[in-house]
Structure 1
Amino acid sequence: MTVNGTVAEGFEPVRDAFAGNFAALGDRGAAVAVYRDGRRVVDLWGGTKHVDGAAGTGGGEPWERGTAQVVRSATKGVAAAVLLLLHQRGELNLDAPVGHHWPEFKAHGKERVLVRHLLNHRAGLPVLDRPLTPGEALDPARGAEAVAAQAPVWEPGADHGYHALTYGWLVDGLVRRVTGRGTGEWIASEIAGPLGLELWLGLPEAEADRVGRAGPVEGPEPSGGLRLRPRRAVTEAYEDPASLTRRAFAAITPFPDQNDPAYRAAALPAANGIATADGLARFYAALIGEVEGAGRAGGGRLFDPATAALARAEESAGPDRVLVVGTRFGLGYMLHGSASPFLSPASFGHPGRGGALGFADPESGIAFGYVTNGFRKTVTADPRAQALVRAVRESLARGA
């Protein structure tokens, strides 16, 4: 398997780890990009554009530099930036009740849900009593109606649990009421467009051909994340139809085919963002500093220092009511820890179930993006992404 692309001097371990992912960890088609202080230092891709490689389907088509992929929950970190930027601009108060902007949301005691609770996974709304069908889920109005009508399963603010799918309807419902635009539209006009990011929430038809077909792949189990507690506890939580874990991931039943053009064209801020590795890494680079070639005032920096501090200040930590393992969250971002190992305690970002990962590390100036068409069962700490993170750490330790 040929590894394409370039690495700056000192980042050769990342190339080696990327090749190793194909040789030993089950990657079929993937890309990784790393920025340091706003300058791209790693830009690698390889394998096939489509995971299945079926005869007659173009499965053997090579992954190219511009190939994009669904990044699943790595979308959450991009969507979080919308609410934080609205706060930065003075258009949204993080400590205001969500119902201040969204009156219908107040039902069933949710008048106590604050804007920050949507971002730190403390809203108490990780499940729906009646899951949405795929058709309903792709309709932003139906998703918003569902979470507005849902009663919390714990006192808002009192505990935390990963809002795997409801996060998207909560964020989008609020963004629409504050701005009059959907989250995908806002990202396109205020973030992706100005920065030239290859990143979409709601894929335009003109970009459809560049997205690879994804599917499941096998490989070694993770060494962290879901292994932090006895495997039986985690397994039982996912298998029990009554558990918050199972119900949170079943908020859409059955889950849509992620290769369906209609799914990719819709905007689910919790789950179906599409990006190249460079688009994801460049987004995180812009959260913490200026970015090369940004072409806009301020060098393209999105977060001012105060907002960046908010994003990575610990808001939730400890046993997660949904994921079972211990998790740490800032405002919309997972924080460095055993369930989500990044580079340093200052790092913040978000993995995507099955493999994708994007994060920023203000201490080292590193921004990282990894996308793959081979989805694993992992929710956090995917071995392929972690191999690449360790290689970045090794490069920095060597003086890169």
Structure 2
Amino acid sequence: EFVSNDATGLVDLPATVGGYAAAEFGPLVRTFARMVGGHPGAGGALTVHLRGEPLVEIWTGEAQPDRAWDADTGAIVFSATKGVAATVIHRLADRGLIDYDAPVAHYWPEFAANGKGRITVRQVLSHRAGLYGLPAIARGLDDVLDHRMMEDNLAAAEPDHLLGVPTYHALTYGWLLAGLARAVTGRGMAELFRTEVAEPLGADGIHLGRPPAGSPTSAAVLAGNKLSAVGVNYVSLALGRAYALPGAVGAAARALFLPGLDQLLEGDDPPILQTELGAGNGVCTATGLATVYGALANDGMHQGRRFLSPETITAVRRVESYRLDRALFYIPMMWHMGYHSLPVPGAHAGFGHIGLGGSFGWAEPRLGLSVGFVHNRLGIGAMSLDQIASAWVLPLVVRGAHAARRTTTLAEPAAA
């Protein structure tokens, strides 16, 4: 049973859960322990900040079979990486180095090739650049791991017929933003994660690829069968043939699949950690993500310092397109510039980014609330339930935050 400790104002955590949580978040802790704990070799963490103040920082399970999860354990957060990469671009825009409505080619001249001279930064940030397809720019795993080559190949590529239409750029998104950022700053995206996001926010738990030696953050080993089923010959053949199919099936296959790409996640030190994949290989702690989204949820402020201007915050909160996404089977993603909203309780007014397997970072500006949720379980069998973790996390977080605000409101007159 989960009860609050009246003396501390905290939930008494079960033996399987480490960290702390304010008393109002007992139901969240209970559900977290049940949904994330108890899986051999797997674990996860959840952090909640309200107006920049930490109210929940909990973890459970194993980062690898012989090491328990702790506050400095990071997980590969897959597409939740995109929100951090977009935040890098917003920092550059905030300083006047990038204009959202300018053509990408204005900053990255090579990008003008093959009719791309008019594609804007805003279109790229909101998945409308028509450059989501992998088969046109890469042959297999070795190409995907060469991020500089992928940036160059996208600069030379021709957009397809879905230019202007929301179509999830599942992997190409990161290389597009990296190429733009490199053209403006001369630096790669992994370095910009550190200098534009992690260091200004004092958040070590934000990395692109493997955390460097000496970092407190350690990467959890992926648990489960990962994407091994995709590598089966008949599955690969079917997905390859799906490239030519019309509609969502063909778009999804082109955005997500290349022969041999399933090997990206294999082994205790998987190849995905060896590159700069701004669309999918962020290694983040739950607290790192909650800190990033805390600045976005609180008018661009972090601990009394400005991280983004009010004008930029207004721009990132705007939904750019309500059209259904063509590569995500017509899900209403409600794309912002680098983030998305969700039509689920507790989430429709916020924004963030969910990754493969369900890890995510989230901002709820109405409450000044931010959330980071990470875990290392990735298996075909558990995927459907894990992918929608936000559907139980966010409503419980919002409920706890409302209760915490009421408690604070009642306590202030009494203290006065």
- Shorter-chain TM-score bucket reads 0.7 to 0.9
In the alignment, the residues of structure 1 paired with residue 385 and residue 173 of structure 2 have an alpha-carbon distance, to the nearest angstrom, of 17
Given the superposition, is the C-alpha separation of residues 2 and 25 from structure 1 closer, same or farther in structure 2, using an over 3 Å criterion? closer
Q: Offset at 1:379?
A: 8.3
Aligned partner (choices 317, 325, 335) of residue 320 of structure 1: 325
In the alignment, the residues of structure 2 paired with residue 117 and residue 26 of structure 1 have an alpha-carbon distance, to the nearest angstrom, of 42
Secondary structure class of the residue paired with 1:393:
helix
In the alignment, the residues of structure 2 paired with residue 161 and residue 192 of structure 1 have an alpha-carbon distance, to the nearest angstrom, of 29
Q: Offset at 1:140?
A: 2.4
Secondary structure class of the residue paired with 2:117:
helix
Larger Rg computed on CA atoms: 2
Q: Map 1:29-178 to 2 at 5 A.
A: 29-50=43-64, 59-128=65-134, 129-154=136-161, 156-157=163-164, 159-178=165-184
Aligned partner (choices 356, 360, 378) of residue 359 of structure 2: 356
User: Relative to structure 2, which stretch is displaced further, 74-83 or 379-388?
Assistant: 379-388
Letter in 2 for 1:353: L
Deviation by residue 1:298-325 (Cα, 9 ceiling, x = unmatched): 6344222221221121112232110112
- Between 1 and 2, higher relative CO (CA 8 Å, sep ≥ 6) is seen in 1
Q: Offset at 1:376?
A: 4.8
Structure 1 residue ranges without an equivalent (≥5): 51-58, 219-235
Given the superposition, is the C-alpha separation of residues 206 and 24 from structure 1 closer, same or farther in structure 2, using an over 3 Å criterion? closer
Letter in 2 for 1:319: L
User: Relative to structure 2, which stretch is displaced further, 74-83 or 309-318?
Assistant: 309-318
Aligned partner (choices 289, 311, 315) of residue 310 of structure 1: 315
In the alignment, the residues of structure 1 paired with residue 193 and residue 117 of structure 2 have an alpha-carbon distance, to the nearest angstrom, of 28
Q: Offset at 1:64?
A: 1.4
Given the superposition, is the C-alpha separation of residues 248 and 155 from structure 1 closer, same or farther in structure 2, using an over 3 Å criterion? closer
- Aligned match of 2:188: 182
In the alignment, the residues of structure 2 paired with residue 95 and residue 174 of structure 1 have an alpha-carbon distance, to the nearest angstrom, of 14
Aligned length: 367
Aligned partner (choices 15, 35, 40) of residue 21 of structure 1: 35
Conserved in 2, the CA contact under 8 Å of 1:30 and 1:370? yes
In the alignment, the residues of structure 2 paired with residue 380 and residue 349 of structure 1 have an alpha-carbon distance, to the nearest angstrom, of 19
Deviation by residue 1:212-247 (Cα, 9 ceiling, x = unmatched): 1013379xxxxxxxxxxxxxxxxx999834311011
Conserved in 1, the CA contact under 8 Å of 2:360 and 2:372? yes
- Aligned match of 2:265: 257
- Aligned match of 1:201: 208
Q: Offset at 1:139?
A: 2.2
Given the superposition, is the C-alpha separation of residues 262 and 253 from structure 1 closer, same or farther in structure 2, using an over 3 Å criterion? closer
Q: Offset at 1:326?
A: 2.4
Q: Offset at 1:349?
A: 0.3
- Identical pairs, percent: 35
- Aligned match of 1:347: 350
Given the superposition, is the C-alpha separation of residues 312 and 263 from structure 1 closer, same or farther in structure 2, using an over 3 Å criterion? same
Secondary structure class of the residue paired with 1:386:
helix
TM-score normalised by length of structure 1 = 0.84
Deviation by residue 1:64-99 (Cα, 9 ceiling, x = unmatched): 121111100000000001111111111111111111
Aligned partner (choices 348, 354, 377) of residue 374 of structure 1: 377
Structure 2 residue ranges without an equivalent (≥5): 1-14, 227-237, 245-249, 408-416
Given the superposition, is the C-alpha separation of residues 22 and 156 from structure 1 closer, same or farther in structure 2, using an over 3 Å criterion? closer
User: Over the residues paired in the alignment, what is the CA RMSD in angstroms?
Assistant: 2.8
Letter in 2 for 1:321: R
- Aligned match of 1:267: 276
Letter in 1 for 2:212: P
Conserved in 2, the CA contact under 8 Å of 1:195 and 1:300? no
Letter in 2 for 1:21: M
Letter in 1 for 2:221: R
Q: Offset at 1:131?
A: 2.6
- Aligned match of 1:245: 252
Q: Offset at 1:28?
A: 2.9
Q: Offset at 1:263?
A: 3.1
Secondary structure class of the residue paired with 1:94:
coil
Conserved in 1, the CA contact under 8 Å of 2:265 and 2:271? no
In the alignment, the residues of structure 2 paired with residue 317 and residue 25 of structure 1 have an alpha-carbon distance, to the nearest angstrom, of 38
Q: Offset at 1:61?
A: 1.8
In the alignment, the residues of structure 2 paired with residue 246 and residue 115 of structure 1 have an alpha-carbon distance, to the nearest angstrom, of 25
Given the superposition, is the C-alpha separation of residues 252 and 140 from structure 1 closer, same or farther in structure 2, using an over 3 Å criterion? farther
Conserved in 2, the CA contact under 8 Å of 1:238 and 1:245? no
Q: Offset at 1:15?
A: 0.7
In the alignment, the residues of structure 2 paired with residue 189 and residue 397 of structure 1 have an alpha-carbon distance, to the nearest angstrom, of 34
